[in-house]
Amino acid sequence: MRPATGLALGERYRLTRRIAIGGMGEVWVADDGYLGREVAVKVLREEYTGNEDFLRRLRTEARNSAALSHPNIAQMYDYGEQDGAGFLVMELVLGEPLADLLEREPVVAPRKLLPILAATARGLHHAHLAKVVHRDVKPGNILLEHGGSVKITDFGVSLAANQAPMTATGMVMGTAQYLSPEQAVGQPATAASDVYALGVVAYEATAGKRPFTGSTPVDIAVAHVNAPVPPLPTHVHPGLADVIGRMLEKDPSRRPESAASLAGELETLAREIAEDPLGARSRSARRAAAARQGTRPAHAAPAHAAPTPPRPAPAAPASPPSAAMPVAWASVTPSDDERAPSGEPAPAAQGDEPAPRTPVEGVAAGRAYPLRRDVRAGAHDARRPPVRKPQPAGTRSRAASRATPDAKPARRTSTSTGQRFGPLGRLSWPLLALLGLLVVLLLATLVQAMAADAGQAAALLAGPALALSRPSRTDASPSSGMMLRDTPHAPRAAMTEKDI
């Protein structure tokens, strides 16, 4: 059967418009002819019509969802089959999935995100009390109503306590990006698995990206098992970073004990962040606790990694994980909203956690600034000589009193290279360079002065020679009888016939 507009299912529900397409079925808005209301109908996709395995899964989803009645779970109304295809009739949620919100806002503010996570955790806890594990918690299955309510939907791969197994041994069901480590290695999913998946959702909404990505679902699942969780940005509230870190623990026993306790922590954290958005009080409390314990302050490392001591990592297979895991990877479905960036760096290989450092003597408690290399070596900073206090006349310093008569003063070395310059050992290389420059300038000045003196002497010697070489004539003055010589320094007298 092919779903289409106007198709009537069970002679009661008439399809009006399609709103979503999933891996197993299509979701339509339909009119309920009996009750006169709009409902959501999930119809098995056309290519799976008559497939008994998919029909059995759809019946299981209907039974598991019908056993749940909670404000944060989409209510199941009816189930039917027609022309070899099954369909589910559910509550119509007027809003959008969390995946659409993350498309618009990759990073969601804590005041908006924490109520969504708390409501989702409470809905999951109700399902866990009914012995139902969702196994596919992801942003696409968390619906946000326009009024602010949160609804969990799509229990298509859910697992109930009395449910007959529908998968082979070691087969994985779920979405690789939100798969817990125990599911990735073929172990059965538990309530802690849903908590881990919700932690991945919280990390994605806080950091703007998923914690683990890869080119294939197998690579992503292996990263969930072996790779450490990348640290959250430093601006994230330390309380929120701590909660997300505990939700993403590899060991299920170290995660929050239940979804209900997690919801309580998230609601309390929402009130704390509203009063202290920057987390100043939380950071100061962590630094004080670290100072009392003699370890590094929490702000020097990711908040979700600092409070816990180093612990052994989960056992990893001796051979490459992709070849050793007893998992049917063909059953790991890719995400419907796959958008992992191709240029994102691969997760770093897992290594030992750094050992805690004790405070250095003389450093104020609660401060973990890196020490300079010369301070760590125990030497004073050569660029900043120690301040020496004036000594009274007739007294000797403590260092001088300890010195022996035969002791020779230590020769200083260069502040940058450490080299000694023989007799000029007391001079550093910058001072030597300055002296060399002054010598060069002095020599240049002397050479220039000598050249100027030589030019002036040559000019003086050339003056009389020019005066002697020029023709001279003498004229008899009629009045005094003196001889007048025509020289370059005296103008020649104009001679007229009258003067003669």
Task: Please enumerate in sequence order all residues whose Cβ is within 8 A of that of 80, keeping only pairs 6 or more positions apart, or say none.
Answer: 9, 10, 86, 87, 89
Which element (helix H / strand E) includes 157?
A: none
Which element (helix H / strand E) includes 87?
A: strand 85-90
CA end-to-end span of the chain: 147
| Distance separating alpha carbons of residues 242 and 233, to the nearest angstrom | 12
CB 267 within 8 A of CB 335: no
| Distance separating alpha carbons of residues 192 and 252, to the nearest angstrom | 6
Task: Please enumerate in sequence order all residues whose Cβ is within 8 A of that of 287, keeping only pairs 6 or more positions apart, or say none.
Answer: 297, 298, 299, 365, 366
- Strand 25-32 and strand 13-21: the pairing is antiparallel
Instruction: Label residue 378 exposed, middle or buried (CB < 10 Å: 0-12, 13-18, 19+).
Output: exposed
Residue with tokens 């306790």: 261
Partnered with residue 149 across adjacent β-strands are none
Residue 117, amino acid: L
CB 62 within 8 A of CB 79: yes
Torsion of CA 110, 116, 120, 121, to 10 degrees: 30
Query: Cα 7 to chain center, whole Å?
Result: 50
Catalytic residue at 136?
Answer: yes
CB 254 within 8 A of CB 180: no
Query: Cα 119 to chain center, whole Å?
Result: 28
Q: What is the 3-state secondary structure (H, E, C) of 182-241?
A: HHHCCCCCCHHHHHHHHHHHHHHHHHCCCCCCCCCHHHHHHHHHHCCCCCCCCCCCHHHH
Residue 264, amino acid: G
SS3 (DSSP) at 46: helix
Instruction: Label residue 100 exposed, middle or buried (CB < 10 Å: 0-12, 13-18, 19+).
Output: middle
Closest to 173 in 3D by CA, of 161, 160, 183, 185:
183
Residue 33 tokens, joined: 């002819």
C-alpha torsion sign, points 246, 250, 256, 262: positive
Instruction: Label residue 465 exposed, middle or buried (CB < 10 Å: 0-12, 13-18, 19+).
Output: exposed
List the catalytic residue out of 83, 136, 194, 499.
Answer: 136
| Distance separating alpha carbons of residues 405 and 111, to the nearest angstrom | 74
**What is the set of active-site residues?**
136
